[in-house]
Structure formats: structure tokens, C-alpha cells
Amino acid sequence: MAPCLLETTAMNPAKASIALALPFVLPLVACVHHTTEDVPHSVAAAGDHVVVAASADTTTTGGFGCGGGLAPTGSSVLFVSDDGGAKFERIEPDEDRAMAEIVAFGGRFYGLAAGPYGNAILSSPDGRAWTEVVPADTTHYDMNDLVVTSNGLYAPHSTGYLASSDGVAWTNEAVTGGWYNPVMAGTGEALVVGTANGTLTVSRSGGEWTQLDMPGMSWISQVVPLGKDVLVTAQTTTNTIARIDLTTRKIVQTMTDAGPVLVTPAGLLDHDTGKLAPVTASGIGTFTDHGPAFSEGAVDGNRVVLLATDGAVGTTSGPWSVIVSNDGGVSFERAVELPTVTTKD
């Protein structure tokens, strides 16, 4: 069934080059060093399949005109395990666009792929062969989140969100006023969207969007469901987690110096520290030392998969490893290093 999309985005116009007349000629300095390195971005798990989405990014050092620093996301690289994360195979798929986000839904994998003409949504049964289900020329350049809820898949963008109940047919729902760098979560009949300018809006059963009061908070980087509540990671004077009761639409608990978090059967795992906080009927407990720091994580039943690096969280330095728990995050097995490739000229 073909995707049903109600809105299109125009392609970027071609850039014109301008020649500058200079009174003298600058000496040319050759770029002296190139490194292409696999950089993982996201991980998802479904049954015995564990898939890590990455890109082959290039850095260049040298003199004037060489740029330097991390170049735009490179070509797609995938690391696929068919045995629950015990070992991984490195794959360079036919689909060249790298996926910044990957999730599992209904036993399949879905990826948000970045390309020169917009972002596309791809689908795969096993993480190896991918099919485009939403083409780039009908989506938005600013989509950066792909979300699974009990009702389906969602991808928020600046003027609304894409939605699908089956991963095949997609619709584009517009919102009034728009969102700045939105992140989304779904819980029960509610959708919740946080933005980079600190707003939080809620819609129930596809109804109107209502903004909630988030005093003193800016740059909401994460919204995740926790039972009938949602957890919001935002900036105050530090990273702060706010637990919000969607029935009363009030903040019922805050925790500083924590977040973003991964919600697991064992409790909340803090990305930056690997600490665990139990969740009880009375609320979220204290974070205590538990496991490794990690950049991304995924939960499939009692299987918890962490994507970790020996470098600091938030950097691209490796080596990269996948660490698996098969008891809901209570304990973790040994780290399995991903077979990443680094090429130097």
C-alpha cells in the first residue's frame, strides 16, 4: 500500500559559486590527513535480532581550506546480530543513506535515514535488506526522532508529525504554531511533544494540543513514557528529569543531575553514568552505581541492549561495544566489541 502523505517539502535550491578577485594569491596548503571511521548512532532489538545503525564519517586535518572537524554524516554502515547480541557482522547496505535513528516495531526495524534531499523512513525485517516506506521528497529535513508507541510509529517535525499504525501506510498531521526540534513519546491515548525551547504539549486521542507549564526548563531533549506518566529530560541549571502526571498535567517529581534515561524493567538507567534508579508506586528512587555509561539503549521484553564506547558519552571515539542484559537490566553480560573499521590515508 502506498504511503499517504498530505504535505511535501521543496528541495533545497542549488548553491551558486562566487569567485573573489584578490590582489594577491594565497598559497595552497594540501590537506594532510584523512580518517574515515564507523560512528554508531542508534540501536534496536527485536527477538534475536540486534541492529546498530552507524555511518562511515570522515575527518580531515590540514591547512587553510581543509575544513577540519567532523564532516557531515557519511555512508550507511550496519552491525547486525542474529543471536541476541553475542556477535555482530558489519554490513555496508545497498541503501547508502545513513540512519540517525533506528527502532523496532511489530517484529520489524524502522530507520530514519538522512539524505541530501530530505529524510526518509526505511524498513527491514532483519536489519540487512532495507526498503523505503516514506520517501525523502515527501518528508521534512528537520525530522530527528522516530518513536514507537502502543498505537504505532511517529516521526515529529517542525510543522507536525508523520504517523503509521502498521509501518506501511503513513499520514502527515499538521499542528498549529509548529515545534522547534521536537521529541515525542506516546502513552495510552496521549501523545506528548517536547521542544528545544522548553515547551511541552499534550494531545489525547488525536484531539487538540494543550501546552503544559514547565517552569525554568529549556531544551527538552527527551520525553519517554513511564506507565501513565511521562519523564521529561530538560535543562535547568543542569540536566533535570521531571515526572509528569498526565491526568493532572502537573510535575509530581523532579531529579537533578540525571537524564537522559532508558526505562527498563529494572528501573531507570542513566545514560551518562550507568546508574540505576528503581521505580515504585511512590515514585522514582535514588540513582546508585549499577552498569556502564552508554550513548543509546533499547529494550525488547526482558532484553536490554546498551551501545557504549570507551570514550566519553557524547563523543565519537571508540572502540564501540554492545552490552546485553537478559534479565530486564538487573545484570549485564560482557561487552561485545563491534567490528568497526577505521581507514587512514
What whole-number distance in Å separates Cα of residue 311 and Cα of residue 323? Answer: 15
Which residues have a Cβ under 8 Å from the Cβ of 161 and sit 6 or more positions away?
Answer: 154, 155, 172, 173, 175, 182, 184, 191, 193
Higher pLDDT, 10 or 26: 26
For residues 12 and 119, give the distance between their C-alpha atoms in angstroms, rounded to a whole number: 13
169 pLDDT above the threshold of 50 = yes
| Residue 140 clears pLDDT 90, i.e. is over it | no
Q: What pLDDT, on a 0 to 100 scale, did the predictor assign at position 141?
A: 66
With 70 as the cut, is the pLDDT of residue 240 above it?
yes
pLDDT band of residue 1 (cuts 50, 70, 90) is very low
**pLDDT score, position 105:** 96
Query: Which of 184, 179, 155, 156 minimizes the C-alpha distance to 167?
Result: 155
| pLDDT at 65 (0 to 100) | 52
**SS3 label, residue 51:** strand
**3-state secondary structure (DSSP) of residue 178:** coil
The pTM (predicted TM-score) of the whole model is 0.84
- Per-residue model confidence (pLDDT) at position 317: 66
pLDDT digits (tens, 9 = 90+) for 15-73: 233 233 333 344 444 555 567 889 999 999 999 999 999 998 877 665 555 544 333 46
Q: Is the pLDDT of residue 311 over 80?
A: no
189 grid coordinates: 491515548
Contact call for residues 33 and 344 (beta carbons, < 8 A): yes
pLDDT at 44 (0 to 100): 98
Burial of 196: CB neighbours in 10 Å, binned 0-12, 13-18, 19+: middle
- pLDDT of amino acid 14: 31
Q: 213-230 pLDDT, tens per residue?
A: 888 888 999 999 998 899
Q: Which three cell numbers stand for residue 256?
A: 537533578
In this predicted structure, the answer to whether residue 5 has a pLDDT above a threshold of 50 is: no
Most confident of 56-60, 83-87, 256-260: 83-87
Mean pLDDT (the chain) is 83
Share of the chain above pLDDT 90, in %: 56
Pick from 225, 228, 226, 220: nearest CA to 246: 228
- Spatial separation of the C-alpha atoms in residues 96 and 109, rounded to whole Å: 17
The span from the CA of 315 to the CA of 199, in Å, is 27
Give the side-chain half-sphere CA count within 13 A for 182: 27
State mean pLDDT over 80-87. Answer: 96
